[in-house]
Amino acid sequence: MNKLRGVVIAAVALFSISLHSGAALAQKKIVMGFSQIGAESEWRTANSESIKSAAKEAGIELKFSDAQQKQENQIKAIRSFIAQKVDVIAFSPVVESGWDTVLREAKTAKIPVILTDRAVDSKDTTLYTTFMGSDFVEEGRKAGRWLVEKVKSQPGDVNVVELQGTVGSAPAIDRKKGFEEIIKAEPRIKIIRSQTGDFTRAKGKEVMEAFLKAEGKKINVLYAHNDDMAIGAIQAIEEAGLKPSKDITIISIDAVKGAFEAMMAGKLDVSIECSPLLGPQLMSAAKDLMAGKTLPRRIVTEESIFPKEVAAKEFPKRKY
Ligand code: GZL
């Protein structure tokens, strides 16, 4: 009888330990290592804010690192997250190439990786669990379609200067690709100059000054891969004595607050939306991963296009 009592007590004790550890496991705080590109644009600032506030909301411990737009700093940060044995790593790769080695190290350490915002060109798709972010090619197509539609009613050549994003980055490569795919249909539209402004206002202004010096009044359109470069270019256009949107049609991407302000001032013609508000989606993906769920390989953010005619009406609703 005593023996049976002993077995029952041991079984109850074992059961309660397993319950407790199971509950403890279930309550274990998820630790995420996030490597952010930098703070190069309004978009990036809003993206960082979204990730930090969503982590707090989700009760996820966030180890956040800012790489100042340098790939080597992102690689260092990912290695540090691996050494700290975080539960999940997420990052926005500043450029598409050069990630396989460090992603293999994360895979060996059995730490899942989520790509947010920008893609990598790794052929081995087991190196990351999912990629969530915009379709940059489609953003470029939207810019191209808007311009083709606009010039239908205007005779003559349409000379475009293009401010590209960071060299080698997914948004720069894809926004160029999508735009060129569409404007092919209208031979009057020609890209006469194209150079990187690295997604910043300062560089956008500097390169636009050079475009104006070289091409002057030949320029009919500016296509900027983000609003910050467009805003820098608007300053250069005004300093050259020209009227932005009147003398030079301006198309840009992101739809940040600064773009709405420029459109309401009549200085920017259209901004294609590229939402930085990826935080909530990222945190819910991390929780699903930790709960053993399978994530879709690709999660695309839904986006719109805002011509200046709707800017004043839409501006109060904007969240970034
Ligand atoms: C796009 C993002 C780009 C923005 C820029 O998802 O990677 O980087 O368009 C930002 O404003 O710098």
Q: Is the distance from the beta carbon of residue 35 to the nearest atom of ligand 1 less than 6 Å?
A: no
pLDDT value at residue 28: 82
* Half-sphere exposure in the Cβ direction for 153 (13 Å, CA): 3
Q: Does 20 have pLDDT greater than 60?
A: no
Q: Mind listing the pLDDT tens digit for each residue in 69-117?
A: 999 999 999 999 999 999 999 999 999 999 999 999 999 999 999 999 9
199 lines ligand 1 (CB under 6 A): yes
**pLDDT value of residue 3:** 64
Do residues 306 and 270 lie in contact, with contact meaning Cβ atoms separated by under 8 Å?
yes
**Among positive and negative, which fits the CA dihedral 193, 168, 47, 178?**
positive
Q: Is 69 in the pocket of ligand 1 (CB under 6 A)?
A: no
C-beta 140 within 6 A of ligand 1: no
Provide the pLDDT for residue 302.
Answer: 82
The pLDDT tens digits for 122-163 are 999 899 999 999 999 999 999 999 999 999 989 999 999 999
> In ligand 1, which atom is closest to the CA atom of 42?
11
Check if the beta carbon of residue 261 is closer than 8 Å to that of residue 316. Answer: no
Give the pLDDT band of residue 226 (cuts 50, 70, 90).
Answer: very high
Tell how far the Cα of 39 is from the centroid of ligand 1, in angstroms.
Answer: 10
In angstroms, rounded to a whole number, what is the distance separating the alpha carbons of residues 97 and 119? 9
* 308-318 per-residue burial string, b: 16 or more CB within 10 A, e: under 16: beebeeeeeee
- Specify the CATH number of the domain 30-134+276-302: 3.40.50.2300
Q: To test the ligand 1 pocket, which listed residue (274, 299, 300, 303) has its Cβ within 8 A of the most ligand atoms?
A: 274
Indicate the pTM of the whole model.
0.90
Identify the CA nearest to 225 among candidates 135, 116, 318, 143.
143
35-68 residue pLDDT tens: 999 999 999 999 999 999 999 999 999 999 999 9
Ligand 1 centroid distance, CA of 15 (Å) = 51
CA 226 to centroid of ligand 1, rounded, Å: 7
**SS3 sequence of the chain:** CHHHHHHHHHHHHHHHHHHHHHHHHHHCCCEEEEEECCCCCHHHHHHHHHHHHHHHHHCCEEEEEECCCCHHHHHHHHHHHHHCCCCEEEECCCCCCCCHHHHHHHHHCCCCEEEECCCCCCCCHHHCCEEEECCHHHHHHHHHHHHHHHHCCCCCCEEEEEEECCCCCHHHHHHHHHHHHHHCCCCCEEEEEEEECCCCHHHHHHHHHHHHHHHHHHCCEEEECCHHHHHHHHHHHHHCCCCECCCEEEEEEECCHHHHHHHHCCCCCEEEECCCCCHHHHHHHHHHHHCCCCCCCEEECCCCEEEHHHHHHHHHHCCC
Amino acid 5: pLDDT:
65
Instruction: Report whether residue 47 contacts ligand 1, using a CB cutoff of 6 Å.
Output: no
The pLDDT score that the predictor gives to residue 249 is: 98
Confirm whether 30-134+276-302 and 136-274 share one CATH topology: yes
Measured CA to CA, the distance from residue 19 to residue 22 in angstroms comes to 5
pLDDT, tens digit (0-9, with 9 covering 90-100), for 201-225 = 999 999 999 999 999 999 999 999 9
End-to-end distance of the chain based on CA atoms, in angstroms? Answer: 71
**12 pLDDT more than 90:** no
* Residue among 35, 44, 273 whose CB has most ligand 1 atoms within 8 A, to mutate: 44
**φ/ψ of residue 272, rounded to 5:** -90, 130
CA of 307 to the centre of ligand 1 (A): 19
C-beta 196 within 6 A of ligand 1: no
Report whether residue 91 contacts ligand 1, using a CB cutoff of 6 Å: no
Quick one: average pLDDT of 180-194?
Answer: 97
Kindly state the tokens that stand for 217.
């009044």
- Atom of ligand 1 minimally distant from the CA of 118: 7
Evaluate whether the domain defined by 136-274 bears CATH number 3.30.2290.10. Answer: no
- Cβ of 220 less than 6 Å from ligand 1: no
Of the residues 35, 37, 41, which should be mutated to test ligand 1's pocket, given the most ligand atoms within 8 Å of the CB?
41
Site to substitute for ligand 1 among 166, 225, 226, most atoms within 8 A of C-beta: 226
pLDDT digits (tens, 9 = 90+) for 248-267: 999 999 999 999 999 999 99
Domain ranges within the chain, ordered by starting residue:
30-134+276-302, 136-274
